[in-house]
Amino acid sequence: MSKIKLYRDYREIKKKFSRTAVAIGNFDGLHLGHKGLLDYAKKLSIKNEALLLVFTFYPHPLRIIRPGNEPQKILSFRSKIRKMSVLGVDIVLIQRFNNLFSKISAEDFVVKILLGYLNAVQIIVGEDFRFGYKRKGDTEYLNSGVLKNKAKLNIVEPIKGSGGKYSSSTVRDLINNGKMEMVKSILGEFYEVEGVVVKGKQLGKKLGFPTANINYLDCMAPQDGIYAGFVLHQGKYYGAALSSGTRPHFEGNERFLEAHILDFKEDIYGRRIRALFVKKIRDESVFEDNDKLKKQILMDCLEVKNILRKEGNLKINGDSYGL
């Protein structure tokens, strides 16, 4: 795992690095297609004695270009950076995308930013890459001589799985429909939500099933329902029953993400944890009384344990899940 250098504007870099291999895109979700592109980019960077720089944007360009059409964010900023570090990325430029930046011409984006400020010697993009004012730049433009033989263009074809091309849009649809097993097949890992544990109304504790209320802000949560999953806390994975939704039994309307961590007694208020979603087991429900709710939660916990054991006949506590 490399320690990433992080920048929020291309002008902060200004020739700090003598040679870079620049991979450009939003990379939301970091699915297997993204990982394949970044793996290829890393090999190029090593071969060319260059640093691997990921050029991405915040907010999503559609927020500025077509307000109201910005897609839901799959991964939090923190999660994306951590996963890029694992993939060997050296530098991440999260360019603030605003009205001013949106008006940069395709030529200035290439000549001034990529070749000038970033000293790019390799440029790695997908085949549908578009850039510059009114999206006038594309891979054909990059091949037209604008690179001036200072950098080589590498167009990575979409990586496909059994269901076709890997796509962030598909991942969003699957998360919104609670199909976490299919999400894993595209991401190559369990979908995760990260946040800080905050105090709630302690409704679960009163029922005998205390929950960690996760304050997440920077990503989407799965479809309302109860899930089998894991919680990662201080480097250890614990089995958990995860609840995403509004707690209709208690007539709630505010959205929550809660984790009942199996066989766990620690006080983790104020701690940052990650919830990993394995499989949806049921929808949220309203019960006749709290006793029936408690019986259902107990059944949920048993089902969670059975599901997690199938992930590798693993123990239901500690750091031995082998994820």
Weakest-pLDDT range from 109-118, 214-223, 261-270, 312-321 = 312-321
Evaluate whether 5-164 and 190-310 have a shared fold: no
Distance, CA of 221 to CA of 72 (rounded, Å): 10
Query: In the chain, what's the furthest Cα-to-Cα distance?
Result: 73
Distance, CA of 41 to CA of 122 (rounded, Å): 8
- How many other C-beta atoms lie within 10 A of the C-beta of residue 104? 16
What does the block give as tokens for 144? 């037209």
Q: Taking each helix axis as running N to C, give the angle between helix 168-176 and helix 180-187, from 0 to 180 degrees, rounded to the nearest 10.
A: 160
The pLDDT value recorded for residue 130 is 94
The pLDDT value recorded for residue 275 is 96
- Partnered with residue 155 across adjacent β-strands are 125
What does the block give as tokens for 159? 């990586």
Percent share of the chain, pLDDT over 70: 91
> Is there a contact between 261 and 232 (Cβ–Cβ < 8 Å)?
no
> Is there a contact between 90 and 4 (Cβ–Cβ < 8 Å)?
yes
Please check the confidence at residue 160 and state whether its pLDDT lies above 80. yes
Reported as a pLDDT band with limits 50, 70 and 90, residue 320 is very low
DSSP characters over 55-120: EEEES-THHHHSTT-PPPP-S-HHHHHHHHHHTT--EEEEEE--HHHHT--HHHIIIIIIIIIS-E
The pLDDT value recorded for residue 313 is 45
H helices of the chain, in order, are 32-47, 62-65, 77-86, 99-102, 106-108, 139-141, 168-176, 180-187, 203-207, 290-310
> In the Cβ-directed half-sphere of 32, how many Cα atoms lie within 13 Å?
18
Reported as a pLDDT band with limits 50, 70 and 90, residue 205 is low
Reported as a pLDDT band with limits 50, 70 and 90, residue 323 is very low
The pLDDT value recorded for residue 251 is 57
Structure letter (DSSP) for residue 157: P
The pLDDT value recorded for residue 321 is 43
32-48 residue pLDDT tens: 999 999 999 999 999 99
| Domain ranges across the chain | 5-164, 190-310
Reported as a pLDDT band with limits 50, 70 and 90, residue 285 is confident
Please check the confidence at residue 13 and state whether its pLDDT lies above 70. yes
79-103 residue pLDDT tens: 999 999 999 999 999 999 999 999 9
Report the CATH fold assignment for 5-164: Rossmann fold (3.40.50)
Distance, CA of 274 to CA of 259 (rounded, Å): 10
Residue 182 three-state SS: helix
Class of 190-310 per CATH?
mainly beta
Which range is most confident: 161-165, 243-247, 259-263? 259-263
Please check the confidence at residue 314 and state whether its pLDDT lies above 80. no
The pLDDT value recorded for residue 252 is 62
Distance, CA of 68 to CA of 227 (rounded, Å): 30
